[in-house]
Amino acid sequence: MGNPNGQVSDKLGRPRHFDDDTEREMVMDAAVRLMADQGYTRLSVAAILAEAQLSTSSFYRHFPSKEALLIAIIRRDGESARRALQRAIANASGPVAALEAWLDGLLDQFYEPAKAARTALFLTPDIFNIYQTNTELMADMRWLLCQPVIRVLRAGHRAGALYSPKPEADAVSMFALVSSVATSPHAYPRSKKSARAQAFRFIWPALRITSETTSGGARRPRSRQPR
């Protein structure tokens, strides 16, 4: 509405040019770009909006605070990683191959350069403070990335291809092993090959999977069921 002088009030803010979903994504993407450059602690709402070229109201329409924005970004990235893991196992020839695809996809989150850089954004000390005040957030993210392999373990157990009577617990245990091996300074934070071998050294016996050498020299997993 115009004022008596025929001028538009600046209290109305900038006009909206984007739908809600697009605007929300623009804010989140701008925040990620700035986090990669300056970290989370130095990040400000004003800087995010300047980067996204949006108004203040565009931020608070979607996020009540900077912390709420961060949590939304973490959950969005978790969903994206889950879908990537699901795609990785979708075309596997069987449960053991699907398990291997899931493990390789999970390792990629820590070692494939672009994915590893993204993961590193959310493993800094200031972000861990957010996890401590939102204790369910990290557990939710772990569970999200475990979901694709739970069906694999359950199907493999039923088929006799591997031994996993409690697939949910097994999935959580495997995730903990892989993430620890990949991030601990006492393990293999810079070598995917070594981290992979270490993870497989524990996981394959736990699931009672053995390997035999084919005529072509490849290693083919084989299940060893209890008698």
Residues 218 and 147 in one domain: yes
**CATH (domain of 39):** 1.10.10.60
Residues 93 and 154 in one domain: yes
Is residue 150 within 8 Å of residue 168, measured between CB atoms?
A: yes
Residues 177 and 214 in one domain: yes
Among 35, 63, 91, the domain boundary falls at 63
Q: What pLDDT does residue 13 have?
A: 42
Distances (CA, A) of 68 to 49, 52, 117, 185: 15, 17, 22, 31
Residues 80 and 121 in one domain: yes
Tens of pLDDT along 208-225?
998 642 222 334 444 444
How many angstroms separate the CA atoms of 143 and 179, rounded? Answer: 13
Q: Which of 50, 66, 155 is closest to 102 using CA atoms?
A: 155
Among 63, 91, 121, the domain boundary falls at 63
Residues 129 and 153 in one domain: yes
How many angstroms separate the CA atoms of 89 and 149, rounded? Answer: 8
Judge if pTM exceeds 0.85.
Answer: no
Is residue 183 within 8 Å of residue 198, measured between CB atoms?
A: no
Residues 6+ apart with CB under 8 A from 140: 75, 78
Structure tokens at 37: 């450059």
Note whether residue 136 is domain-resident: yes
pLDDT per residue as tens, the chain (227 positions): 344 444 433 333 445 577 889 999 999 999 999 999 999 999 999 999 999 999 899 899 999 999 999 999 999 999 999 999 999 999 899 999 999 999 999 999 999 999 999 999 999 988 988 888 888 998 999 999 999 999 999 999 999 999 999 999 999 999 999 999 999 999 999 999 999 999 999 999 999 998 642 222 334 444 444 44
Residues 77 and 57 in one domain: no
- What is the domain range of residue 98? 72-223
Residues 45 and 151 in one domain: no
Note whether residue 50 is domain-resident: yes
Among 43, 63, 83, the domain boundary falls at 63
